[in-house]
Structure 1
Amino acid sequence: MALDQYFTLGRSGLRVSRLALGTMTFGDDWGWGAAEGTAHAMFDRYLAAGGNFIDTADMYTEGTSERLLGKFIADAGVRDRVVLATKFGYNAEPGNPNAGGNGRKNILRAVEGSLRRLRTDYIDLYLLHTWDRITPAEEVVRTLDDLVRAGKIRYAGLSDVPAWYAARAQTYAEAHALSPLVNLQLEYSLVERHIEHEYVPLAIELGMGITAWSPLGMGLLSGKYRPSEGGGSGDGRLAKVSGRPGFDRFTQRNWRIVAALEAVAKELGKPMAQVALNWVATQPGLASVIVGATTIAQLDDNLAALDFTIPPASRRRLDEASAPETPFPYYMFVDMQQARLHGGAAVGSKPAGYAPPVWVDRVEPREARAAR
């Protein structure tokens, strides 16, 4: 699938590429990442391949990512072509609690800073970066709606929030005729599949397309890491941060997934990273997959991830190796339990040709869209 085949994001008219360019690596302010020249070359390469969806955040490389993107977009004269997404939430002034978080005061402060750094008068997709545990969903939704009405953003969404919070925010927007949320940005990969229990059904039902971050499991699925006495070894950031909360990827379960991925990739004659990206991009509910790189070679490898189809038998092998544990209450919803609920009668989805209500716009896998 070429990057210039676009899909609508959630229940919206915004068309985006199946692979988004992640720019957390734009700038070396954090001691790793790509210098300006390399970042510019990757930006140009992504656009040349037909891509149009670019993801950043106000805190990436201390604001350098936004500044570089603003310069690159202006130099290329492509502001109307690109779909520019950025995020707010992380504190910009230590000691000042209102210079961070999800409250109205910080959102209005943050959007002005992003607009300035990005050299633009509007943002295509503005996302709450991470739940702050205190700001009511109603306050966030009202403020984002105000920004849409003011023309400073075109669409809004959420990243890294609880499923119940996302559901409350979208339901509040619907009930009060406010701008709906069109995007959920969440971690998703063969080694991190927990969103399948709650978030994927939520997104499909409420019209929010999912964009996946860290589709390579923080690099674990790229093939650069191997098991060792210390848990794992390899040349990459993950080896330096593994063991921290949320970064402990060197587990026996994950090594089994890596082994299955390596075997499938060898059978297909494709790099492990491409197979892992392809698997994510073709899962239900996924609108786009965020790919990041520090070199042109890495980016080129990632951009070729949709040029093939994973055979059903190979996909089943990956699915089985990475299947997440089914916690309560989800084990209550399996087929055997459902049969008891329905008295043993076969109860399935609507028959072919049945027209659902117009407000239901399910985000479909690539194969389903292609078949229509």
Structure 2
Amino acid sequence: MKYKLLGRSGLKVSELCLGTMGFGTEGGWGADKDISFKIMDDFANAGGNFLDTANIYKLGTSEKIIGEYLSNQDRDYFVLATKYTLKDNTTNPNASGNNRKNMMRSVEESLKRLKTDFIDVLYLHIWDDVTPIDEVLRGLDDLIRQGKVNYAAISDTPAWVVAKGNTLAELMGWSQFIALQVEYSLIQRTPERELIPMAKHFGMTVTPWAPLAGGALTGKYLRGEQGRIKAESVRRDENSEKITKVVIEIADELGVTPAHVALKWTMQQGFSCIPIVGATKVEQLHDNLKTVDVKLSDDQLKRLDEVSAIKLGFPGDFLKEEAVRTNSFGGFYDRVEKR
């Protein structure tokens, strides 16, 4: 794999990120320790170094498996990302949320499970709409100054909150968010309204979760296969089926799988984007790794963009339509496009 810089940093990460939410067998599904080790081995042998986990994945088992694996590996080769926010115990009222107390507690617990002295990238997992963003940024910066975390990142948070946070961090001399993790795929393009433009402005790398839309873009629902969780049914409607059929058509043209097409689409959108590919089976990983050798043509990208297009809403559609209709900006947009 090739390596990319993560956001506005010098941190080099592989062009695919390995998602480890399925490491552990709690809940009756997932990969056991031996299979998880094999998946990480093969990912590293393919040049992969970017691992994504969270304190709550498999009730902490995901971090424990990674920690045991890394204790016998070159720790510095891997770029390890984890998250805090969601409740991982019931010991106290502050065992969840974005607050500093939970942040510090969660990080200490993650360090123990991961058997490491530092976390490369720490994500705020989901915005709690309670904690002030300056409390979050100051806490993350303190962890970075202590050497327990190298970089700060954020997930599942409104664009205006992230923008305020990075602007405040720049003003105060604190560490800024370098990556943004959101759901993004051909079936879920709503981040293009606010989140992705914001990420581009601040030079943040987007790390999409569910880039295959819970498997919908592989065509498994069209084949009559059932999803693991009922929530995946929201990705099974007439529109998603129409999009998936085009994905399958292009996959047939290229002689690859639909998953390769869907993943590569996120990587060819003109901004820094590293999709998170989960795997609970070695064969799944091997198939996902082939994505790096796929190249979508301009025509294929156009067909995918057209079939999955969304309305930007106000003010996005209004500004675009008004500029075209009235030439209000003196042809400025036309000149930018030509450049």
TM-score of the pair, normalised by structure 2: 0.95
Q: How many residues align?
A: 338
Corresponding position of 2:249: 263
User: Are the counterparts in 2 of residues 339 and 345 from structure 1 also a CA contact under 8 Å?
Assistant: no
CA shift for structure 1 position 351: 9.5
1:61 to 58, 63, 85: 58
1:288 maps to 2:274: yes
1:195-210, aligned counterparts within 5 Å? 195-210=191-206
CA shift for structure 1 position 68: 0.3
- Give the structure with the higher percent helix: 2
CA shift for structure 1 position 198: 1.1
Cα distance change, pair 174–47 in 1 and its aligned pair in 2 (3 A): same
1:311 maps to 2:297: yes
CA shift for structure 1 position 103: 0.1
**How far apart are the structure 2 equivalents of 1:120 and 1:242?**
35
Structure 1 stretches lacking a partner, 5+ long: 228-232, 353-372
**How far apart are the structure 2 equivalents of 1:343 and 1:145?**
41
Cα distance change, pair 324–343 in 1 and its aligned pair in 2 (3 A): closer
**How far apart are the structure 2 equivalents of 1:191 and 1:309?**
20
**How far apart are the structure 1 equivalents of 2:327 and 2:130?**
39
**How far apart are the structure 2 equivalents of 1:350 and 1:328?**
22
Corresponding position of 1:367: none
Q: Residue by residue, what CA displacement relative to the aligned partner does 1:290-346 show, whole Å, maximum 9, x if unpaired?
A: 001111111100011120211111111111111112211111121552563635434
SS where residue 33 of structure 1 aligns? coil
Corresponding position of 2:261: 275
User: Are the counterparts in 1 of residues 7 and 272 from structure 2 also a CA contact under 8 Å?
Assistant: no
User: Are the counterparts in 2 of residues 21 and 55 from structure 1 also a CA contact under 8 Å?
Assistant: yes
Question: Mean Cα displacement is larger for which, 277-286 or 301-310?
Answer: 277-286
**How far apart are the structure 2 equivalents of 1:181 and 1:338?**
35
Corresponding position of 1:327: 313
User: Are the counterparts in 2 of residues 102 and 132 from structure 1 also a CA contact under 8 Å?
Assistant: yes
**How far apart are the structure 2 equivalents of 1:61 and 1:170?**
31
Corresponding position of 2:228: 237
1:3-152, aligned counterparts within 5 Å? 3=1, 5-75=2-72, 77-94=73-90, 96-152=92-148
Corresponding position of 1:370: none
Question: Mean Cα displacement is larger for which, 208-217 or 86-95?
Answer: 86-95
Instruction: Give the AA of the match of 1:337.
Output: A
1:211-250, aligned counterparts within 5 Å? 211-226=207-222, 233-238=224-229, 240-243=230-233, 248-250=234-236
CA shift for structure 1 position 197: 1.5
Cα distance change, pair 221–139 in 1 and its aligned pair in 2 (3 A): same
User: Are the counterparts in 2 of residues 7 and 17 from structure 1 also a CA contact under 8 Å?
Assistant: yes
CA shift for structure 1 position 268: 1.2
Corresponding position of 1:364: none
Instruction: Give the AA of the match of 1:241.
Output: A
CA shift for structure 1 position 350: 10
CA shift for structure 1 position 264: 1.0
**How far apart are the structure 1 equivalents of 2:293 and 2:111?**
35
User: Are the counterparts in 2 of residues 9 and 287 from structure 1 also a CA contact under 8 Å?
Assistant: no
**How far apart are the structure 1 equivalents of 2:104 and 2:276?**
26
**How far apart are the structure 2 equivalents of 1:257 and 1:118?**
39
User: Are the counterparts in 1 of residues 138 and 174 from structure 2 also a CA contact under 8 Å?
Assistant: yes
Q: Residue by residue, what CA displacement relative to the aligned partner does 1:261-285 show, whole Å, maximum 9, x if unpaired?
A: 1111111111001111111112232
Cα distance change, pair 112–313 in 1 and its aligned pair in 2 (3 A): same
**How far apart are the structure 2 equivalents of 1:172 and 1:259?**
45
CA shift for structure 1 position 286: 3.2
**How far apart are the structure 1 equivalents of 2:94 and 2:329?**
55
**How far apart are the structure 2 equivalents of 1:197 and 1:91?**
30
CA shift for structure 1 position 24: 0.3
**How far apart are the structure 2 equivalents of 1:262 and 1:131?**
35
**How far apart are the structure 1 equivalents of 2:226 and 2:316?**
38
TM-score of the pair, normalised by structure 1: 0.87
